[in-house]
Amino acid sequence: MAAILIVEDEPAIQELISYRLQQAEHETFCAKDAEQAIKIVNDVLPDLVLLDWMLPGMSGIELAKTLRRVPRTKNIPIIMLTARVEESDKVSGLEVGADDYITKPFSPRELIARIKAVLRRRSPEVADDVVEINGLKLDPVTHRVTVNDNEIILGPTEFRLLYFLMTHPERVHSRPQLLDGVWGDHIFVEDRTVDVHIRRLRKILEPVGKDGLVQTVRGSGYRLSVGRA
Ligand code: CA
């Protein structure tokens, strides 16, 4: 389940998309122009933006450029919606940083499949797939974490932390990046909170021999890796 912002000036299309996405268990926010979209993005950082190319005022392309310029929004996946079919338009859409491109009319089923593909690629933590690393298995739907089919019990924060690390493995995450990814947007917690929860997570993983997966990278942050630190 993802929070999806739909930027579309035609009410009928906006409503239809929103309805179908909600049926697919997504949370939706709607904007009829770029201005409204920016307001929503500032309030609720969405997991993905569906962006109509032709909008009154600032165009979808301009809005995509704006989102890509700002550090807070530059990584939000964007799918452009458009009635245009020319190849050159597709290229300029992708050049401003759109992740995918759908030409109207499209079927809701296709749209949902594309959204899932983009999320899986860009934000695996909202795609709801079971992740497994080195015998450690996490199911985001049932919230079950197992090692060789033995369930281990995690607190909610440790669960989200582990989920984030497992869906972004082998990368070093700074404390602020972990706060952003795990604690969420607009929540101000101290950096050392991260250390506390990392310690708890390791403690839970220790009896099953998996604490070595969560590694400290001196001076940088933490990483989940199957290789030794
Ligand atoms: Ca339009």
Q: Which pLDDT score, from 0 to 100, does residue 154 have? A: 93
Q: How far is the CA of 201 from the centre of ligand 1 (A)?
A: 47
- Which residue, among 145, 162, 143, 227, has the nearest Cα to 200 in the 3D structure? 162
Quick one: tokens of 202? 């390791």
Tokens of 77: 């996946």
Ligand 1 centroid to Cα of residue 5, in Å, is 15
CA of 98 to the centre of ligand 1 (A): 17
> What share of the chain in percent tops pLDDT 70?
93
Rounded CA-CA distance 93/57 in Å is: 18
Distance from residue 10's CA to the centre of ligand 1 (Å) = 6
Q: Which residues surround ligand 1, an ion (CB under 5 A)?
A: 9, 52, 54
Q: How many helices (H) and strands (E) does the chain have?
A: 8, 11
Whether the upstream peptide bond of residue 46 has omega within 30° of 0, thus cis, is no
The per-residue pLDDT of the chain, averaged, comes to 89
The verdict on residue 229 lying in a domain is no
| Domain end call among 126, 159, 190 | 126
| Mean pLDDT of the 138-159 span | 92
Domain boundary among 126, 142, 175: 126
Q: Is 48 in the same domain as 8?
A: yes
pLDDT digits (tens, 9 = 90+) for 28-73: 999 999 999 999 998 888 999 999 988 999 999 999 999 999 888 8
Cα of 74 vs centre of ligand 1, distance in Å, is 23
The count of structural domains within the chain is 2
- Compute, in angstroms, the gap from residue 183 CA to the centroid of ligand 1: 35
Q: Are residues 30 and 118 in the same domain?
A: yes
Pair 102, 153 in one domain: no
Quote the ligand 1 centre to 13 CA distance (angstroms). 9
**What CATH number has the domain bearing residue 174?**
1.10.10.10
Output the pLDDT for position 121.
82
Residues 149 and 102 in one domain: no
Asked whether the beta carbons of 9 and 36 are under 8 A apart, the reply is no
Tell whether the model's pLDDT for residue 86 goes beyond 70.
Answer: no
Note the pLDDT of residue 45. Answer: 86
Look at residues 105, 126, 147 and tell me which one is the last residue of a structural domain.
Answer: 126
Q: Give yes or no for residue 186 having a pLDDT over 60.
A: no
Report the pLDDT value the prediction gives residue 32, as an integer from 0 to 100: 97
Distance (Å) of CA 97 to CA 40, 61, 134: 20, 9, 34
CA of 159 to the centre of ligand 1 (A): 41
Q: 3-state DSSP call for residue 82?
A: strand
**Ligand 1 centroid to 12 CA: how many Å?**
11
Looking at the fold, whether 115 and 7 belong to one and the same domain comes out as: yes
- In sign, the C-alpha dihedral spanning 126, 123, 172, 206 is positive
Question: Are 143 and 103 part of one and the same domain?
Answer: no
Q: What is the pLDDT of residue 187?
A: 59
Q: How far is the CA of 67 from the centre of ligand 1 (A)?
A: 19
* 13 shares a domain with 96: yes
Tell me the per-residue pLDDT of 158-173, one tens digit each, with 9 for 90 and over. 999 999 999 989 999 9
Are 143 and 161 part of one and the same domain? yes
Residue 21, both tokens: 């996405």
Domain containing 10 — which CATH number?
Answer: 3.40.50.2300
Report, as an integer, the average pLDDT of 179-202.
Answer: 82
Q: pLDDT tens-digit profile of 90-132?
A: 667 677 778 888 888 889 899 999 998 898 888 777 777 899 9
2 CA to centre of ligand 1 in angstroms? 23
